[in-house]
Chains A and B, each alone.
Chain A
Amino acid sequence: MRAKSILTLCDGPTCIYKNSRAIRDALETELKNQGLSDEVGIHISGCLGMCSKGPILIVNPGYTIYGGVTVQDIPEIVQEHLVRRRPVARLAVQEDHLYNRFFRIFGDVDFFGRQMRIALRNCGIIDPEKIDDYLSVRGYEALAKVLTAMSPREVIDEVKKSGLRGRGGAGFPTGLKWEFTARETGNEKYVICNADEGDPGAFMDRSAIEGDPHTVLEGIIIGGYAIGAAKGIVYIRAEYPLAIQRLEKAIAAARENGLLGKRILGSDFSFDMEIRLGAGAFVCGEETALIHSIEGRRGMPTPRPPYPSVKGLFGKPTLINNVETWANIPVIMLDGGEWFSTVGTETSKGTKVFALAGKVHNTGLIEVPMGTTLREIIYDIGGGIPNGKKFKAVQTGGPSGGCLPEEYLDTQIDYESLAAAGSIMGSGGMIVIDEDSCMVNLAKFFLEFTQDESCGKCTPCRGGTKRMLEILTRITEGNGKEGDIEKLERLGQMIKKASLCGLGQSAPNPVLSTLKNFRHEYEEHIFQKKCRAGICSALVTYEITEKCIGCGACRRVCPVNAISGKRQERHAINQETCIKCGQCFTTCKFDAIVKA
């Protein structure tokens, strides 16, 4: 019997974390109890990107989206929506920018509004563990086309025509990279998929693999054909067990179906793939370090040239691309490089996936055409800043990127514009910052990460980031000195220009960009010993204003007995005893305690 309704349940990491698997069990049980098992199909999808509203359950037809679903809600949804055909308004996600755009994409139009999904085109609409699902959305058609109708040269030309650039961060033209590797002689070459996603809070690659592993595989196989490699390796971090599991399944299914292995699809092209797990060092996302890690050596970068295209894995010509880059390849092959190049800006073609995070309504995963402005992403797709707070900055490019203030909000997303504004595209982290964040502290946070993840090989990165962090730490602790800003700039510029690899060359970016755009906050910290956001506890004092009614709640909660005062009289804080924990501030119901 044909299913009358399809329930799509998001199986992305956030939804799993929010108990979506128990919901699935409950749904199955409830449908069985109601005798609906035959007419209602349950469809498990990869990450839908709507993480802030998870767990997500979609009922079709009708595109009703339920967010924040709990196990207890299931009987009501089944009874009301599936039996009585009355959507449960209480649980439905309201009109929402992200949802709005997103589901028009998966509807029946090919103009997609502000979001546009190329790399993630199947995430959410197919079951990532079923190769048939992928085949039903023209999966492996690109591979078939390439193997039957295109020469390797033509494949490379198509990629060049598309204008696709590396999505890992640096934005090197993908077609050129392929060409360089292809023109190397020798019959042993490698293709590598870099899935060592390491930016804190980033999950673009993870979602792409979890949601649609076959797209990535197909891209890699096409790459192998184009450059003349017989072996592909996916280097993925061991912390991504679900992605690894789905990738393993996908590889096995592809092998079973003759899409990997000897004489693929009856052609002369043979290609196989394996997965190598990384232990999670951030630096292993750098291509030479990644190669050494696969070789079983310490993951440390080596100077380029020689580039991997000439001398890569085991000394052989190697093509390395990032997950998102690979995911674009099948579309380029099917719809043509020319079509692809119509999306985006003059120099940056196609779309870019971002992990939108921070102080914005709709956090989650988005894919937008290049050229979309930061403002559109933050206010239209992201739904703006919650709690009526003021926008302060947006940080792009993860720990290697920069912070852009309000005047850059109309900057278009593309490699050059972001660089010109003082940040980078990076691999797609985007964190929105409101007035409650201290920029010095934020820069310190990112630098803590990079200095900890520095491989320790080259002096500027190893020693320089450490010293910069020490200076930042003392500034946030109220011990900043005159000259510290200049030292940060001097070290930052040197580290940027002298470091061995991209990690070091970009590590000072968060500091340098905040120094450029928020220098006054540094100066306040150093000279006025003041943190305007009230984040740096050493620079904050709590005071009780005349709003105090003397309820005593703050006095009781203070862990060091720094607050005194009689009942129904204004209390006071002994500044010498106060440890600035902020307990009184959060406890006071009358806004009588202020940070200064």
Chain B
Amino acid sequence: MGKSITIHINDKPYKVDPGQTIMQAADKLGFHIPRLCYHPKLSIEGACRVCIVEVEGMKNYVASCSYPVNDGMKIRTNTPELRRARRDIVELILDNHPLDCHICDRNGNCELQRLSYSMGIKARHFEGERKNYDEDLSSQAVVRNPNKCILCGRCVRICSEIQHVHNLSQAYRGFRTVVMPAYNMPFSESVCTTCGQCINVCPTAAFVEKSYTQELFERLNDPGLVKVVQFAPSVRAAIGEAFGLEPGHNMEGQLVAALRKLGFDYIFDTQFAADLTIMEEASEFLERIQNKGKLPMITSCSSAWMKCMEQFYPDLIDNVSTCKSPMSMNGAMIKSYFAEKIQVDPKKILSVAVMCCTAKKYEADRPELMFDGLRGVDIVVTTRETAWMIKSAGIDFLNIEPEKTDAPLGLSSGAGAIFGTTGGVMEAAIRTAYELYTGETLVDIELENIRGLQGIKEAAIQMDGQELRVAVAHGLGNACGLLDLVRMDPGRYQFVEIMGCPGGCIGGGGQPYAGANSIPLDEEVLQKRAKALYDLDRGKTIRRSHDNPDIQKLYREFLQRPLSATSHKYLHTHYQAKLPRGIIPDRAIY
């Protein structure tokens, strides 16, 4: 950073650092220039032209998101002519956007709606032809509605730049431009990993999750069913935001109470299953070490990562843990162990999962995860959908009396809680693996090296004189970077944690939308959500999965021991290479 320079904004001089854009400088000075396609984590698109400003001496308007500040630059952000140009630009967007805010998923939480309001658009001048495309409902998780797309390109960029999936691109030209997967494949046949990050960054409802709320409301009223629900660790850390709370509040008690009020008979915790996953996964890891199995072992909890692996890293299938995700493990226990306990035919159980994730909708449908002809989870709803259901049912979420989860699948350790954030699975696994391996209890259980939002994190742990080298990546782009390292040098690590979404589950594709004053996937928000989970861990007396008494009981009564035949039947699976159309198999891999 060089010496500071002087710029003038609206005729007033300011000292700013060079090497930044007009928008960055203006933001720091308290001028919020309106914007749409801009996202701080993504490359500069310069497409929407909403953030234009006037710069003295320049014939045209300048996009403040991309233009750097210069010494002596005279910028105007709010002249009448500029305001009109911006308003016309937003009008042009609205003119090719359905006028159906009142029946839209993003009603009340739409960036375009907010922008339109702040532009003061009171009349329409240029209406004409509108686009008319079919919705793509083929995916179990993500719905694409090109009619609502305003072509800001954020989804294209997050899918390629952050997730490295490259499923989306603009196609065709001019007014007919549309964002689609290669060859306009239905989503279900595309390389979409169903991570849902396109939904998180979409300013409108061009991408939304496939919603199951209506079906769920109906089945909650079916008296012939036992209604069971589980919820993921990071849901409790984020759902408060959907009710106007600042990020970082743990709303576990309120959520349990609300779910009960919605009509669920039993409220279980996916954190319990996270503890179960650790028992199996840590045991599997030690077995691989002892029997010289395939290493590094790679975690398998993240559904988006699983689809990514099948498509892009099928050579690593044998490295991936055979453990199902905590959600699917819990689902399996609900329809076996728990069904036996309450003596109900598992077919009469409605197993619902409240997830921070859209990919879990896809996962719940996977045939590889079925047992005895049953799905472990019947319906997956996201944090967003659940918040909507709670509101729609008239439940006063913020003022409700907190309640506790139910036995036998509701009690969890602190290790289970931190599953929701990047590095958490690794940390939880090490807490247990260390003890299983050395016979001693790990004292220093908070592994700072693998916490936080750095893309790829590494740590080395001494276990009985042996060095255990582990690595953690979150977001599929970082994951690809880490796995390419693994491909080149398989001996580099023994254990690798991959989470499909930025920040891990706390940044999942099903989490509440950014509000009026925040940015999707803002790091500060992710950090606050993570902190809520770490605080939850720290507040617990049981912080290691194997110390969870209900886990011990489950093994005693049903599973016998980790990796037993029963465990394998319900808790493990195998994946296979998948080649969606459009992927050319790389002979080096297949």
By beta carbon, the residue of chain A nearest B93 is A459
B88 engages A499 (CB within 8 Å): no
CA distance A114 to B191 in the complex (A): 61
Interface membership of chain A positions 497-516, coded 1 if the CB is closer than 8 angstroms to chain B and 0 otherwise: 11110000100000000000
A458 engages B169 (CB within 8 Å): no
Give chain A residues whose Cβ lies under 8 Å from the Cβ of B183.
none
| Any B CB within 8 A of the CB of A467 | yes
B49 engages A500 (CB within 8 Å): yes
Set A454, A457, A470, A505: member contacting B129, Cβ < 8 A: A470
| Any A CB within 8 A of the CB of B473 | no
Set B44, B63, B92, B175: member contacting A454, Cβ < 8 A: B175
Give chain A residues whose Cβ lies under 8 Å from the Cβ of B49.
458-460, 498-500
CA distance A298 to B173 in the complex (A): 11
| Any B CB within 8 A of the CB of A313 | no
Set B44, B46, B126, B175: member contacting A458, Cβ < 8 A: B46
- Nearest chain A CB to B123's CB is how many angstroms away? 12
Give chain A residues whose Cβ lies under 8 Å from the Cβ of B63.
303, 500
Which of A115-123, A389-397, A488-496 touches B? A488-496
A467 engages B95 (CB within 8 Å): yes
By beta carbon, the residue of chain A nearest B126 is A467
- Nearest chain B CB to A509's CB is how many angstroms away? 13
| Any A CB within 8 A of the CB of B292 | no
- Nearest chain A CB to B59's CB is how many angstroms away? 8
| A453-B174, A466-B174 known; A460-B89 Cβ under 8 A | yes
- Nearest chain B CB to A419's CB is how many angstroms away? 10
- Nearest chain B CB to A365's CB is how many angstroms away? 29
| Any B CB within 8 A of the CB of A8 | no
| Any A CB within 8 A of the CB of B68 | yes
| A464-B92, A466-B128, A487-B125 known; A498-B52 Cβ under 8 A | yes
For A283, A456, A464, the residue with the greatest tally of chain B CB atoms inside 10 Å of its CB is: A456
A490 engages B60 (CB within 8 Å): no
Q: Which A residues, 275 to 315, have Cβ-Cβ distances below 8 Å to chain B?
A: 281, 283, 298, 300, 302-303, 305
Give chain A residues whose Cβ lies under 8 Å from the Cβ of B174.
451-456, 462, 465-466
Give chain A residues whose Cβ lies under 8 Å from the Cβ of B126.
463-464, 467, 487, 491
Interface membership of chain B positions 171-208, coded 1 if the CB is closer than 8 angstroms to chain A and 0 otherwise: 01111110000000000000000000000000000000
CA distance A457 to B169 in the complex (A): 11
- Nearest chain A CB to B191's CB is how many angstroms away? 17
B92 engages A463 (CB within 8 Å): yes
A463 engages B67 (CB within 8 Å): no
CA distance A459 to B95 in the complex (A): 11
| Any A CB within 8 A of the CB of B24 | no
Give chain A residues whose Cβ lies under 8 Å from the Cβ of B172.
456
B153 engages A457 (CB within 8 Å): yes
Set B52, B96, B170: member contacting A463, Cβ < 8 A: B96
By beta carbon, the residue of chain A nearest B172 is A456
Give chain A residues whose Cβ lies under 8 Å from the Cβ of B67.
303, 305
A496 engages B60 (CB within 8 Å): yes
Give chain B residues whose Cβ lies under 8 Å from the Cβ of A465.
174
Q: Which A residues, 415 to 450, have Cβ-Cβ distances below 8 Å to chain B?
A: none
| Any A CB within 8 A of the CB of B47 | yes
B88 engages A497 (CB within 8 Å): no
| Any A CB within 8 A of the CB of B85 | yes
Interface membership of chain B positions 75-94, coded 1 if the CB is closer than 8 angstroms to chain A and 0 otherwise: 00000000011001100110
B85 engages A462 (CB within 8 Å): no
Interface membership of chain A positions 458-492, coded 1 if the CB is closer than 8 angstroms to chain B and 0 otherwise: 11101111110010000000000000000100110
| Any A CB within 8 A of the CB of B151 | yes
A491 engages B68 (CB within 8 Å): no
Set A303, A466, A467: member contacting B44, Cβ < 8 A: A303
- Nearest chain A CB to B568's CB is how many angstroms away? 46
CA distance A222 to B47 in the complex (A): 36
CA distance A392 to B68 in the complex (A): 45
Set B89, B125, B129: member contacting A459, Cβ < 8 A: B89
| A497-B60, A498-B85, A498-B89 known; A470-B128 Cβ under 8 A | yes
B173 engages A454 (CB within 8 Å): yes
| Any A CB within 8 A of the CB of B429 | no
CA distance A491 to B88 in the complex (A): 8
CA distance A76 to B85 in the complex (A): 68
Give chain A residues whose Cβ lies under 8 Å from the Cβ of B66.
303, 305
A463 engages B175 (CB within 8 Å): yes
B173 engages A453 (CB within 8 Å): yes
| Any A CB within 8 A of the CB of B48 | yes
A500 engages B47 (CB within 8 Å): yes
| A470-B129, A497-B61 known; A456-B175 Cβ under 8 A | yes
- Nearest chain A CB to B359's CB is how many angstroms away? 27
Give chain A residues whose Cβ lies under 8 Å from the Cβ of B175.
451, 454, 456, 462-463, 466
Interface membership of chain A positions 302-340, coded 1 if the CB is closer than 8 angstroms to chain B and 0 otherwise: 110100000000000000000000000000000000000
Give chain A residues whose Cβ lies under 8 Å from the Cβ of B88.
464, 490-491, 494
- Nearest chain A CB to B38's CB is how many angstroms away? 11
- Nearest chain B CB to A378's CB is how many angstroms away? 29
- Nearest chain B CB to A20's CB is how many angstroms away? 36
CA distance A469 to B151 in the complex (A): 20
Give chain B residues whose Cβ lies under 8 Å from the Cβ of A499.
49, 60
CA distance A487 to B67 in the complex (A): 29
- Nearest chain B CB to A293's CB is how many angstroms away? 13
Give chain B residues whose Cβ lies under 8 Å from the Cβ of A459.
47-50, 89, 92-93, 150-151
Interface membership of chain B positions 89-117, coded 1 if the CB is closer than 8 angstroms to chain A and 0 otherwise: 10011011000000000000000000000
CA distance A464 to B48 in the complex (A): 12
B92 engages A302 (CB within 8 Å): no
CA distance A281 to B171 in the complex (A): 13
- Nearest chain B CB to A73's CB is how many angstroms away? 46
B177 engages A494 (CB within 8 Å): no
CA distance A505 to B46 in the complex (A): 14
A457 engages B170 (CB within 8 Å): yes
| 15 contacts across the A-B interface (CB closer than 8 A) | A298-B170, A300-B170, A302-B46, A303-B63, A303-B65, A305-B67, A454-B175, A456-B151, A457-B45, A459-B50, A459-B150, A463-B175, A467-B126, A496-B60, A498-B52
Given contacts A467-B95, A470-B128, 5 further A-B contacts (CB under 8 A): A454-B173, A455-B173, A456-B177, A466-B128, A491-B88
9 closest A-B pairs by beta carbon, nearest first, are A456-B177, A463-B92, A303-B46, A303-B66, A454-B174, A467-B126, A470-B128, A466-B175, A497-B60
